Amino acid sequence: MSNNGMMEQEEIFSKVLRAGRRTYFFDVRATKADDYYLTITESKKFTNDDGSFHYKKHKIYIYKEDFTEFKEILAEMTDYIIAEKGNEVISERHQKDFKKEYDAPANEVASTPEEPKSTESFTDIDFDDI
């Protein structure tokens, strides 16, 4: 039995995606009425200071009546991310030479265009004063 007192239903079909410290389990299960639903479980490994480890798991349940909208929104969100940022992974964890803009040395020029400087703080200088 699981923590909430409900018996986990039989797994009908399963797939596993290992992704670094995370593992995703996709499981088709059957309800008591013998209908199918999907569970997606994220399991993340954590290492304790003493070298032992434990896993934290998060699970979502997706039922048939939600499949169409779930697929559409998932596709829309993933398409948006790829369109905006491409397929290349850009992160500190995945790239050893990754530098945040504020981590770049002062003599390096940022690759993004600078914002125009505000003229609100401009001081009018009269050259006769020099």
Mind giving me the DSSP string for 14-45?
Answer: EEEEEETTEEEEEEEEE-TTS-EEEEEEEEEE
Query: Does residue 41 form part of some domain?
Result: yes
Indicate if the alpha-carbon torsion angle 86, 96, 44, 28 is positive or negative: positive
Q: Give the global pTM.
A: 0.59
CATH at residue 93: 3.10.450.700
Q: Mean pLDDT for each 10-residue chunk of the chain (130 residues)?
A: 52 92 94 94 91 92 97 97 90 61 53 48 48
Structure tokens at 69: 């909208």
Task: For residue 67, give the nearest of 43, 44, 35 by alpha carbon.
Answer: 35
How far is Cα 122 from Cα 90, in angstroms, rounded to an integer?
A: 38
- Specify if 56 maps to a domain: yes
Domain span holding position 21: 11-97
Whether 51 maps to a domain, the answer reads yes
**What are phi and psi for residue 103, nearest 5 degrees?**
-90, -15
pLDDT tens digit string along 14-36?
A: 999 999 889 999 999 999 999 99
Q: How far apart are CA 23 and CA 57, in angstroms?
A: 9
